Structure 1
Amino acid sequence: MCLNNPTGKMAQVSVIVVNYNSGNLLATCLSSVYQSPVAQEIIVVDNGSIDHSSDVIKKNRNLSGVKLIRNSRNLGFSSAVNMGVSISTKEYLLILNPDCVIRPHALERMVLILEQNSDAGVVGGLVLDFFGAEQAGCRRRDPNLERSIGKFAKEWIPKIPVPSIDMTHLPLPKSELPVDAISGSFFLVRRRIFDAVGGLDEGYFLHFEDLDFCRKVRESGSLVLFSPRACAFHQKGASGGVTTRKIARYKYLGFKRYFKNYPPDGLLATVLLATLSRIMFCVQLSTSVFQEGKTANRHAHPTIPLPLISSHSQIMVLGGRCDLGEFLLTRLSACGYDIIATSRSPEKCPIIPRVQWINPEFLTNVPVADYPKFSRLFSLLPLWEIQKYSELLTNPDLSSVHVFSSSSILSKASSKVPTEKSLVRALVASEDWFLKQMKKSRVAGKVLRPTMIYGGRYNRNINKIKAIAKYLRIFPLVDEATGQRQPVHADDIAEFCITALREPKSEDFSEPALISGGEVLDFSQMISQVIHHTSGQPRLINAPAELLRFALRLLSYLPGQKNMTAAIVDRTQQNLVYPDEIHLPPRLFSPRRFYP
C-alpha cells in the first residue's frame, strides 16, 4: 500500500518509528514529520505499550495514513525497526524515535544530502535536547578501550580533557562531515544499504545497535555523514516504564556484544574492556538504587519545545536569567505574550508560564531557517555579545529591538584602570555597531543605559554591600562619600519594556537613552538605606580613603574579585547623575524612589 502525506505528493521516504509508552510525545513526533515538504509513508511499530500512546493514530484523523504494527511484548529497538522496514516500500528509510520533534526542512535536507553524495549510505542530523543544546551521541567515533574510559570519565567530570566516543566537545562543523557513527534516534539510510548490511543487529535490545550498524555500513564501503543542517529535538529516554536499572543492564549487554562483534587487539585490551564494562554496570546499578521505581528521564521540565516550532510570532529575550530578566519575563507572561528566553543554564531557570527556556547555542548552531518565529527582541546580555547573534537582527518579521548597554560608558569614560578603559571601548564599539545594524535593516532599535540596577537576587551591587555588611557586622565608608547616585529598580525597567511593546513607534531610536531611578541621593545616603534594610543592623564606620584603596588593591588579587579596584573609592565622591543625557520620557517611564 502506497501512502502519501496530506500534500498529496508521491512518497519518497519511509519513516520508521518504534514506540514504547511514549505518551503524548508520539503524536507530536508524527505531526512534525507531516510538516515536511517531502512526502512519506509512516510506519509505527508499537512494542507492547501499556499507556495507550499508539491509540492516538486511530483517534487523530490527520494520522489516518499511518501504518501501525502492534507487538504483544517489547521485542527491543533493533527487532522493531527491522519489522517496520520489512513492510516499507520507499527508497529512503528515516529511523526516528517517538520522543523526537523534527524541524520542517530537516527531512528534505537529509534526502538532498544523500542524493548529492552517492558514496554516502547514512546521514544523521543535529540532535538537540529540549533546551536546544546538542546532545551527546549525534556524532561519534568508534568505541575502543581509551575512548570508552574517556566517555565513562566524562559522565562524572564533563570537562576532563580525555579522548571520548562523543564529539560534542568539538566545534560544530559548517557542513556535512564523515564520522564513525551518528545517533540512532534520527538518521536517514538508503534502503539498499540497509538491506545489504542485514539491517540492525537484533542481538542488541537497546543501546549500541546504532554504533554497530554504522560500523557495518562503513565496512561495506559507504560513508556515514553527520549534517548540522538537519535538526531534531529529542527528549532522551522518554519512554515510560523503562527504569534506570533496566537501562544500565541494556547498556552493559550492548557494550559486551559490541566488543564481541568487534574485539580489540590483544588479550590485555580484552581483559581491560571486560573489567571496564563491569565497573560501569556496577556504578550505574548503584546509582539506580537511589532512583528505584523512577522511570528514566521522565521529567516535567523541560517540556516539548513547541514555541521553537510554532508558526505564530513570539518575543525573544536573550540572557533571561538575571534580575531584569525574571521581572521582565514575569510581566510579559502576565500580559499574555509567548516568550523564548535564553540561558546557558536553562535547567536551573524558574518555570514561568508561556516561557520556553533554551540554551543560546541553539541560536548559533541551527540554520537560520530553523530559528523560531519572533517579532520583538530584548537583549539583556553584555552588549558586545549581541554580535554573536547578528543573524537574529536580520529576521524579516522583526519590528523592534531593545538592547542594554551601561551607564559605565559615562562613569568610567576617564578611568585610568586598564580593565575599565577596555570596558568603555567595548561598550562604545558595540553601541555603534548595533545602531548601524538597525539603520541598515530599518528596524526600530533602542540602546538603554541603566544606572545602578537593584532588586532581585542576582545583582552584584546592592546585594554585595548587604553581604559584606552582614558578614563583617560593619561597613566602612569614606568621609567624603557625597557623590550622587540614582539607582533604578529592575522591575521598573521591566515595566518600561512592556510599555515600549505597546508604543514602539513613539520612541526616538537615534540615540542611546539613560534609564535611571526616581530618587537622587548621595552615596552615603544610599549606603545608609541599604544598611538599614540589612538583617542584624550592621554599623557604618568612617575610614580613611587611602586605607580603603589599599584594602581594595589587596582584595583585587583574590579569585573573582578583579573588579574591586581602588577606583571604587574615587567614584564614591563622583556624581553619577547625568541630567544632560537623553532620558526616557516620563509618559513612558515613571520609576519608584529608592527602596532596597
Structure 2
Amino acid sequence: MSSVADVAVVIVNYNSGAFLKQCLLGLRQSTIPLEIVVVDNGSIDGSTKFLGKANGVSDCQLIRNSTNQGFAVAVNQGIQSTTAEDVLLLNPDCIVQPHSIARLQLAMQREECGAAGGLVFGFDGREQAGCRRRDPTLARSVVKLLGKLGIWFGLQGVDLTMESLPKSPIQVDAVSGAFMMIHRESLDAVGGMDEGYFLHFEDLDLCRRLRNAGMPVLFVPSVSVLHRQGASSRERSFKVEWHKHIGMCRYRLKFSQMPQIGHWLFRLFVGVHFIWRVCWLVLGGGRKIKMPASGRVASVLTTTSSGTVVLGGRNDVAEYMVPRLSGLARSVLVLSRARERNLFCRSAVMLHPEYLGKVPDEDLPLLEDVICTIPIWHLSKYEGALLRCGVRRLVAISSTSITTKLNSMDQKEKHVVSRLQEGERWLESFGRSNDVACLIIRPTIIYGGHFNRSIRLVQNMIRTLGVFPFDIPEEGTRQPIHADDLAQMAVSWINSKVTGVEIVSVAGRDALSNRALMELLFRSVGRKLRMLPVPARYVQIILQCGSWVFRGLLPSPAAIDRLAVDLGQSNDEAIEKVEFSARSFTP
C-alpha cells in the first residue's frame, strides 16, 4: 500500500471465498501504512479474482502458486517479497480493527521480543484456543488430545484460554499464527518458517526457535481480532487432521529429548488419536456450527454508529425482538450461550457473553441501547461491559411473580422473588448512578415462540394425553401476554428516547378464567376439554415428589393454591407511560 510501509502484511490464501476480500477491505482502514502481499496457494474458488481490478482493494501484491505448497512455504515466499522491518502474518478469514496493527507494533517496540500476538476471538465471540499457549510438551500434548477429559482432572494443557486475561502484555510460549507480528531481523536470525510443516504447528515451531534464540514471545491482550478459523480448510477436514497429526509428530521429534522408545510410544498415541478423529468426522462430529458471514460481523463490530445489544438469544422475547430491531436498520448484537443456528434473524450477529468481558476497550462496539431478556438478576454481571459500551437506554424483563409470589411459603418461589427484587434494585441504582434511562417490564405469563415452558408445556401434555391430569377450578383469572407484544413495547420505548427509571406491569388483553383458558388450549390442539377429577392436594403431593426428580421443570405445589386467585391486572399504566398494545390470547 505504501513505499514507506511500517508493517508488511503476509496473507496466505487457499479457497477462502469472500473472507479474503473482507479482510483486505479492513486492512485498507489501517491507521498506519501497510505493505500487503497475498500468496495464493492454488485456489480454485476464484477468491483472488477481484485483485487487480478497480474495486478499491487492488493495491496489494499477489503471488500465485500453481499448487498448494503448504502454509510455511507460502509465508516464506511472502516475507521474501516484502521490505518492511516488521512482518504481520494474518489469516484471510480475520477481521482487523483500523488501529489493531499499529497497537500491536507499538507493544513490540516497547518490549524486547521476537514476536507478538493479540487476543484472537472466534466468530462466536469466544477466545480461540491457540491465542496464547504453553509449549506443547508430551504431557501437555496428551492433555490436549484428551480434550475436556483432561480439564475435568485438572491437568495443565497447552492452551491458556481458561486462565484469567492479563491486564498488560506478558511473555508466553506461543501465540496464534493467524495474527502474529515478527521483527524481520528475528525471522532472519532463525531462518524463517520451517517448510517441513505443511499445515499446523509451524507457528509453534517458529515461537519455540525464537525463544531458544533468546527472543521472547509476547501476548498483547489490548489488541484483538476476529478469526473465522478454518475458512480455507472447511471442506478438507480429513486432510487437515492428517497434516495436524503429522505436524505434531514432527514438532515432538524435533524438540524432544526423550529416548527412542518414547518417540515410538508418542507416535502410537498420535496414530490412535488420528483414527479416532477420522471416525468422529465420518459419524458427523466434524460438522461445524454455521457462523455468521464475515461482512455481517464486520459491519456490527466495526461500525462507528450506535447499535443495540440483546442479552439472551434463546427465549421467546428475543425470538421476536431481534427481527424487530433488525427491521429498523439497526446493527444488532445478540449475546447468548446458544449457537448461531438458533438465531432467528440472519441480519444480526450472535456472540458468546465472553466477548464483552474480554474485548479491549478500544475494540468495543458503540452499543447505546441494551435489551435484557435473560433473568434480571444476571444483569449485574455485565455492569463493567455495559459502562464500557456507553449504554444510555436499558430495558429489562422482570416478572409479576415479584408481587404474586411475595407471600409464598414455598422456598423455591421465595428464592425467585428475592432474586427478582435483587435484580430490580440493582438496575434502579445502576440507572440513577450512571444517568442511564431504564425500563423494567413485569409481564404476566408469556406465551408465543418456541421456548416457553408454560403454555406450550400444557399444550404438549394435552396433545399427548388427551386429558388434563386434574380438575381446574372455575375461580381465578389469568392474562397471558404474547412475547411479540413485549418485544414491540421494548423497541418502542428504546426509540422514544425517554429518561429516568420506570417499572411497568403488563398483561395480555383478555382476562380469562382458568376454565376458559383451558378450553382455548384444548381447542388449539384439536381436542375437547377433558380433566381428571383428581383433588388438588393429591396434585400437590405429586408435584412435590416430582420436583425431587425433575428439578426446575415442574411448577411448585404452591402454584396449585394460586389457581383460585385472580391474577389479572390493568394495562392503563403501561399505555400511559409506554406505547403498548396487547393482543387477544391466541395459543
TM-score, normalised with respect to structure 1? 0.90
Which residue number in structure 2 is paired with residue 406 of structure 1? Answer: 399
Aligned AA (2:505)? L
Q: Distance in 1 between matches of 2:503 and 2:275?
A: 60
Query: Aligned pair 1:114/2:104, yes or no?
Result: no
* Map 1:531-550 → 2, pairs under 5 A: 531-534=522-525, 537=528, 539-550=530-541
Deviation per CA, 1:36-69: give whole Å up to 9, x if none: 3233222222223333323433124543442332
Q: 1:225 to 1:581 in 2, by over 3 A?
A: farther
* Map 1:300-315 → 2, pairs under 5 A: 301-304=291-294, 305-306=297-298, 307-315=300-308
In the alignment, is the contact (CA less than 8 A) between 1:553 and 1:564 conserved in 2? no
* Map 1:68-467 → 2, pairs under 5 A: 68-118=62-112, 120-154=113-147, 162-239=155-232, 243-287=236-280, 301-304=291-294, 305-306=297-298, 307-350=300-343, 352-394=345-387, 398-467=391-460
Aligned AA (2:523)? H
Q: Distance in 1 between matches of 2:474 and 2:153?
A: 48
Q: 1:225 to 1:535 in 2, by over 3 A?
A: farther
Aligned AA (2:104)? M
1:484 corresponds, among 477, 488, 494, to 477
Q: Distance in 2 between matches of 1:283 and 1:92?
A: 41
Q: 1:171 to 1:472 in 2, by over 3 A?
A: farther
Bigger mean CA deviation after superposition, 557-566 or 409-418: 557-566
Q: Distance in 2 between matches of 1:519 and 1:348?
A: 35
Q: Distance in 2 between matches of 1:183 and 1:452?
A: 48
Q: Distance in 2 between matches of 1:488 and 1:369?
A: 41
Bigger mean CA deviation after superposition, 568-577 or 269-278: 568-577
Bigger mean CA deviation after superposition, 190-199 or 173-182: 173-182
Bigger mean CA deviation after superposition, 355-364 or 109-118: 109-118
Q: Distance in 2 between matches of 1:157 and 1:349?
A: 30
TM-score, normalised with respect to structure 2? 0.91
Q: Distance in 2 between matches of 1:297 and 1:121?
A: 37
Aligned AA (2:509)? G
Bigger mean CA deviation after superposition, 418-427 or 400-409: 418-427
Q: Distance in 2 between matches of 1:357 and 1:223?
A: 36
Which residue number in structure 2 is paired with residue 517 of structure 1? Answer: 508
Query: Aligned pair 1:577/2:568, yes or no?
Result: yes
Query: Aligned pair 1:44/2:43, yes or no?
Result: no
In the alignment, is the contact (CA less than 8 A) between 2:143 and 2:150 conserved in 1? no
Q: 1:450 to 1:130 in 2, by over 3 A?
A: same
Q: 1:50 to 1:470 in 2, by over 3 A?
A: closer
In the alignment, is the contact (CA less than 8 A) between 1:238 and 1:297 conserved in 2? no
In the alignment, is the contact (CA less than 8 A) between 1:341 and 1:356 conserved in 2? yes
CA-CA distance at 1:325 after TM superposition? 0.9
CA-CA distance at 1:308 after TM superposition? 1.7
Which residue number in structure 2 is paired with residue 553 of structure 1? Answer: 544
Deviation per CA, 1:129-183: give whole Å up to 9, x if none: 1122222211222223333333223279986755432233333333333322211
Q: 1:595 to 1:297 in 2, by over 3 A?
A: closer
Which residue number in structure 2 is paired with residue 7 of structure 1? Answer: none
Of all paired residues, the percent bearing the same amino acid is 35
Bigger mean CA deviation after superposition, 160-169 or 512-521: 160-169
Which residue number in structure 2 is paired with residue 568 of structure 1? Answer: 559
Q: Distance in 2 between matches of 1:318 and 1:49?
A: 40
Bigger mean CA deviation after superposition, 458-467 or 57-66: 57-66
Q: 1:175 to 1:467 in 2, by over 3 A?
A: farther
What SS class does the counterpart of residue 10 from structure 2 fall into? strand
Aligned AA (2:94)? C
Q: Distance in 1 between matches of 2:288 and 2:376?
A: 38
Q: Distance in 1 between matches of 2:526 and 2:173?
A: 60
Q: Distance in 1 between matches of 2:341 and 2:267?
A: 37
In the alignment, is the contact (CA less than 8 A) between 2:290 and 2:340 conserved in 1? no
What SS class does the counterpart of residue 539 from structure 1 fall into? coil
Q: 1:222 to 1:548 in 2, by over 3 A?
A: same
Q: 1:203 to 1:566 in 2, by over 3 A?
A: same
What SS class does the counterpart of residue 475 from structure 1 fall into? coil
Q: Distance in 2 between matches of 1:297 and 1:130?
A: 16
Deviation per CA, 1:198-255: give whole Å up to 9, x if none: 2111111111111111111221223222232211111212126962222122113212
Aligned AA (1:86)? Q
CA-CA distance at 1:84 after TM superposition? 1.7
Which residue number in structure 1 is paired with residue 7 of structure 2? Answer: 13
What SS class does the counterpart of residue 14 from structure 1 fall into? strand
CA-CA distance at 1:438 after TM superposition? 2.1
What SS class does the counterpart of residue 161 from structure 2 fall into? coil
Aligned AA (1:89)? T
Bigger mean CA deviation after superposition, 211-220 or 42-51: 42-51
In the alignment, is the contact (CA less than 8 A) between 1:555 and 1:561 conserved in 2? no
In the alignment, is the contact (CA less than 8 A) between 1:479 and 1:543 conserved in 2? no
Bigger mean CA deviation after superposition, 15-24 or 495-504: 495-504
Gaps of 5+ in 1: 5-9
Q: Distance in 1 between matches of 2:377 and 2:578?
A: 30
Q: Distance in 1 between matches of 2:234 and 2:358?
A: 33
Q: How many residues align?
A: 584
Q: 1:536 to 1:268 in 2, by over 3 A?
A: farther
In the alignment, is the contact (CA less than 8 A) between 1:144 and 1:264 conserved in 2? no
CA-CA distance at 1:30 after TM superposition? 1.8
Deviation per CA, 1:259-285: give whole Å up to 9, x if none: 120235244432221102212332344
Gaps of 5+ in 2: none
In the alignment, is the contact (CA less than 8 A) between 2:462 and 2:468 conserved in 1? yes
Bigger mean CA deviation after superposition, 447-456 or 414-423: 414-423
Q: Distance in 2 between matches of 1:52 and 1:529?
A: 57
In the alignment, is the contact (CA less than 8 A) between 1:349 and 1:357 conserved in 2? no
Deviation per CA, 1:299-344: give whole Å up to 9, x if none: 8643111222223333221112211111122233344433222221
Q: Distance in 1 between matches of 2:400 and 2:446?
A: 10
Aligned AA (2:436)? V
Deviation per CA, 1:346-369: give whole Å up to 9, x if none: 333145242222222111110232
Q: Distance in 2 between matches of 1:183 and 1:289?
A: 28
CA-CA distance at 1:565 after TM superposition? 2.5
Bigger mean CA deviation after superposition, 237-246 or 575-584: 575-584
Q: Distance in 2 between matches of 1:549 and 1:260?
A: 67
